[in-house]
Amino acid sequence: MNIGFVGVGRMGANMARHLKDRQFQITAVYDINRAKATSVAAEVGCAASQDLSEVTAESDVIFTVVTDDNAVRQIFTGAGDNLLVNARGKLFINCETISPGVEIDVEKLVHQAGAESLEACMASSITQARDGKLYLMCGGDEETFRKAEPILKELGSVVRYIGKSGEAAKVKALVNMVMNINTAGLAEGLALGAALGLDLEMLRQVFSQTGAASRVLETDGEDMQNREHSCFFSAAHAAKDSGIALNLARSLGLDLPLARATKEQYDRMIAEGLGELDKSGIAELTFKDRSALRKKAAD
């Protein structure tokens, strides 16, 4: 089985590295950042593809790990060059977090091209990608899922079939929406604790033992305190994903004030040049004594 990758940012690159370690053949790597593609291609032992159609030609299974709705539309429908040229019999596995509607549109186009597609949304980060321990939520035809399951199990410690195309994207948007709310709320709690002069080690420990406990307290609490915002999951991605959920809510006539307030905070980070900090960087907005230092943090 020949495997191609479109989008080799840190997630895609780590997935490719892991599959190579597991003796899979990576035959094509593409990224709009040509230098990135060349570097990752050299690592995994293939050439960097010049065109998207080349990836399709050289691979049986193509993983796409690009940024957002527009990027996905571009790689599947771009004029002149796209992944669906001579795509008959190929399997596309789409791993980015995008709007459910786009997943559904893409699946239709893929089917029209005589190929198959699956969404495999990742609720984990770059470390898990490198270790083949992703949490994968999959949507699409169940038959396609069963076919893809062995390779997905190489990449994920949990590989879960959610339902038809778009369903996994919905669940993924909700996971990130709630995670982002909890993150923004935690930042407020720690920031107020700091402003009150409380010992934040103690405060985090009390949070962990009470109704304030959360997964993000474990993953981001200490980083918020120590201003360690090396990026695992960027504020810009957090804003995007909360935005996907809010668009879904809007289309259904639901108002979600917490999700809205959270999206506004992540948008503010982007506006202040902090979008490429980790999501824990939201604490930079709320800690009282940090505003003056924000520019520095963004440098």
Confirm or reject binding of residue 189 to a copy of itself (CB under 8 A). yes
Q: What are the tokens at 10? A: 């840190």
Confirm or reject binding of residue 202 to a copy of itself (CB under 8 A). yes
31-49 b/e (C-beta count within 10 Å ≥ 16 → b): beeeebbeebbeebebebb
Question: Based on CB atoms, which residue is closest to a copy of itself, 4 or 185?
Answer: 185
Determine which residue in the list 44, 216, 239, 277 makes contact with a copy of itself, applying CB under 8 A. Answer: 216
Question: Based on CB atoms, which residue is closest to a copy of itself, 65 or 121?
Answer: 121
Determine which residue in the list 162, 235, 277, 283 makes contact with a copy of itself, applying CB under 8 A. Answer: 162
Collapsing DSSP to helix, strand or coil, 114 comes out as coil
Confirm or reject binding of residue 104 to a copy of itself (CB under 8 A). no
Contact (Cβ atoms closer than 8 angstroms) between residue 239 and residue 267: yes
Confirm or reject binding of residue 188 to a copy of itself (CB under 8 A). yes
Contact (Cβ atoms closer than 8 angstroms) between residue 36 and residue 9: yes
Q: What are the tokens at 269? A: 């980070």
- The count of C-alpha atoms lying within 13 angstroms of the C-alpha of 165, restricted to the half-sphere facing its C-beta, is 21
Stretch that binds a copy of itself, among 55-63, 71-79, 178-186, 222-230 (CB under 8 A): 178-186
Q: Are strands 156-163 and 134-139 parallel, antiparallel or unpaired?
A: parallel
**Interactions with a copy of itself, residue window 53-82 (CB under 8 A):** none
Radius of gyration (C-alpha) of the chain in whole angstroms:
20
From residue 252 to residue 281, the character string flagging contacts with a copy of itself as x (rule: CB under 8 A) and all else as - is: xxx-xxxxxxx-xx----------------
Measured CA to CA in angstroms, residue 119 lies from 6, 89, 136, 166, 174 at distances of 14, 17, 9, 8, 16
Question: Based on CB atoms, which residue is closest to a copy of itself, 87 or 121?
Answer: 121
Determine which residue in the list 193, 243, 275, 281 makes contact with a copy of itself, applying CB under 8 A. Answer: 193
Please name every residue paired with 26 in a beta bridge, in sequence order, or none if there are none. Answer: 3
Determine which residue in the list 7, 185, 275, 281 makes contact with a copy of itself, applying CB under 8 A. Answer: 185
Contact (Cβ atoms closer than 8 angstroms) between residue 176 and residue 241: yes
From residue 220 to residue 259, the character string flagging contacts with a copy of itself as x (rule: CB under 8 A) and all else as - is: -------------------------x--xx--xxx-xxxx
Confirm or reject binding of residue 156 to a copy of itself (CB under 8 A). no
Determine which residue in the list 207, 225, 240, 269 makes contact with a copy of itself, applying CB under 8 A. Answer: 207
DSSP 234: B
Return all residues near 275 (Cβ < 8 A) that are at least 6 apart: 234, 235, 236, 239, 269
Positions that interact with a copy of itself (CB under 8 A): 123-124, 135, 137, 158, 160, 162, 167, 170-171, 174-179, 181-182, 184-186, 188-189, 191-193, 195-196, 198, 202-203, 206-207, 209-216, 219, 245, 248-249, 252-254, 256-262, 264-265, 286, 288
